[in-house]
Amino acid sequence: MTIFVFNNEIIKKHNLFYLTIKKILRLSIVINFINKSEENPMKKKHILYIILIIATSFLTNCDLKEEAPTSGSGDSTAAHNITLQGSVIDAVTGDGIADATVKIMDGSVVRGAVTDNSGKYSYTFATNADKDILIIAIKDGYRPDTLSVFAIKDKITNVSVIQLRANKNGTGGGTGVSLSAASINLHSQSAQSLGVKESGALESLDIIFEVRDSAGVTISEDNAVDLSFSFGATPGGGEYLFPASVRTNALGKATVTLNTGRIAGVVQVIAQTEVNGKTIKSKPILVSIHGGFPVEDVFYVAAEKLNYPYYGIIGKSIKFTAYAGDKYNNPVRPGTSIYFTTSSGIIGGSAPTNEAGAATVELLTEPHPEDVIYGKGFFRVTAKTADENKNTISTETIRLLSGKALLNVSPSSFTLANGGSQTFTYTLMDVNGNPLSEGQTVKVSIESKNVVLSGDIDIEMPDTQSKTWTRFSFTAYDALPDSIAVENVKIKVATTGKNSDKKVMIFGSAE
């Protein structure tokens, strides 16, 4: 039997190498016994089992530097963090496995976490560099499983789902003999939604498909099939699936990773395969891709109208909505907080955005607003939020409260010569000289056999704040110049609408 001798100081400088040599020494002793046991196959089989136990202990025993489970730790001098999160499930039932130990190995250091009641875990530790990490999931009654991930500092790394299979005497489920594939079903997905690239949200998720036979039994490895993955619908922002195809494992499952793009929307992921010349497809799996952080260039606030007939009235309700988009012109992620202020009245302080990037609050009017620039009747509403750098961005809008109608016509009387005409001007405004609200009408009518009218004789106000909609004119002219009869003429100018009703009468004669 060979004996290895090493300098302790050199070995301690390379701790992982030191541990490896210790394991080799243990294994060399067992191998020596195996060589002496060739004549006894049963004895040899038992010794091989011992080797397996020792090899497992290489990864899990306490010779490594181990930190207590569930407590984030690491280099106390590090300025960055790595966060790992994932889940451990029963490979057959798909149920989360509670209280499973998750060992997180970074070189010679073992950190640990314990899954919650739904089989999920999360662990954060300090570091100054990106890491290649080995993860081992362990639970009594199940076979341990491992996977490797590359974790980037200051980002959340979503670890693929770890599926544990029960030991023969364990508590997990098992599989029976299966027939050929007949259906493809969703087994699980690591998240329900994603964010667009550079949004600060998840940018990828895993979808696990499960293939079953006609009896509903998960197919075995003997009936494994190649699943190919495609999009049914996509926003067209550069989303992609990886890999394009994969063969089902011994549990009849196959995993594909959906990677987000730059446009928000809904993605449909479909898995399919060919069995005996027949195409089998899954139902489309829907995944929402949300937008990123707000940017000032795509941030607005508005109300339904520019002009409301509420001047002088307390407590009238006006809804204001802020619309927030990200740098790719997507709606921001749902739940983004928008804050509101006003120069007049009472307004809801904040609201979260919905799927369309909109957040709505209610304003209750006060009777006599006055803006420092636009004057009486006008007021401002401002919306604010934070961008990806936590800087405040804002936008504002101006709205008008118009009052009761004031109607004036000039001249107030007239005499129309034979074949002649007379032009009238009239103003329609509120007490502050502002235009009236949308839908307010003006109609000019005349009682005469010889005189007709033209011009602004039938007006309906648009939704406006412009004072050009306060001055109007019309002309009365003799339509029968050959007639020398003199008649009395009466002209009525009347306005009706939400601001108020008003009319003016003009009396004259025509020769």
* CA 144 – CA 165 distance, rounded (Å): 8
Q: Give me 233's structure tokens.
A: 């619908």
User: How many Cβ atoms are within 10 Å of 419's Cβ, its own excluded?
Assistant: 13
Fold of domain 406-510: Immunoglobulin-like (2.60.40)
- pLDDT of 454 strictly over 50: yes
Amino acid letter for position 171: T
Task: Tell which wins on pLDDT, 62 or 146.
Answer: 146
**Domain locations in the chain?**
81-166, 179-290, 296-401, 406-510
- pLDDT of 409 strictly over 90: yes
In degrees to the nearest 10, what's the CA dihedral of 163, 167, 170, 172? Answer: 30
* CA 77 – CA 286 distance, rounded (Å): 43
Give me the CATH code for the 296-401 domain, please.
Answer: 2.60.40.10
* Residue 16: its H or E element: helix 15-35
Report pLDDT for 178.
62
Condensed to tens digits (0 to 9), the pLDDT of residues 328-348 reads 999 999 999 999 999 999 999
Report pLDDT for 216.
79
Q: What is the mean pLDDT of residues 226-245?
A: 94
Is 179-290's fold the same as 406-510's? Answer: yes
The domain 179-290 belongs to what CATH superfamily? Immunoglobulins (2.60.40.10)
CB-count exposure of residue 31 (10 Å: 0-12, 13-18, 19+) = middle
- pLDDT band for position 45 (50/70/90)? very low
Q: In what order do the strands lie in the sheet with 299-303?
A: 299-303, 317-324, 358-364, 346-347
According to the per-residue pLDDT averaged within each range, which of 44-48, 77-81, 277-281 is highest? 277-281
- pLDDT of 35 strictly over 50: no
Condensed to tens digits (0 to 9), the pLDDT of residues 432-447 reads 999 999 999 999 999 9
Under 8 Å between Cβ of 141 and 165: no
The rounded mean pLDDT for the chain is 84
Give me the CATH code for the 81-166 domain, please.
Answer: 2.60.40.1120
Q: What is the mean pLDDT of residues 454-476?
A: 97
Instruction: Quote the radius of gyration of the chain (alpha carbons, Å).
Output: 40
* CA 269 – CA 260 distance, rounded (Å): 12
Buried b (16+ CB within 10 A) or exposed e, 167-186: eeebebeebeebeebbebeb
Asked which of 72-81, 256-265, 328-337 is least confident by mean pLDDT, the reply is 72-81
Q: What is the mean pLDDT of residues 446-460?
A: 95
